[in-house]
Amino acid sequence: MLKQFRHAIRRDQYACPRGFSDPNCTSVEDVRREIQEELEADIIGAPIEFGRIADYSGLTGGYGHV
């Protein structure tokens, strides 16, 4: 995770791998794909949801789930 200032929300945030959902995939499949694409890693076991984040905070003020 990387702590960085994001202009759109006017505050620091911790960044993590992120991407777009595939309408043909479950959220778990989306998570596994993004981790593989961004980090070249695999998730062992079931992913754990942390909560909401300000996703794409460099572009919008919207939120998504981690």
Q: How many other CB atoms sit within 10 Å of the CB of residue 40?
A: 7
CA gap 21, 13 in Å, rounded: 22
- Write the burial class of residue 66 (CB in 10 Å: 0-12 exposed, 13-18 middle, 19+ buried): middle
CA 56 to chain centre: 9
pTM: 0.61
CA gap 46, 14 in Å, rounded: 22
Better-scored residue on pLDDT, 47 or 60? 47
Query: What is the per-residue pLDDT for 24?
Result: 93
Residue 27 pLDDT class (50, 70, 90 cuts): confident
Max mean pLDDT range (15-19, 27-31, 50-54, 61-65): 27-31
CA gap 30, 48 in Å, rounded: 13
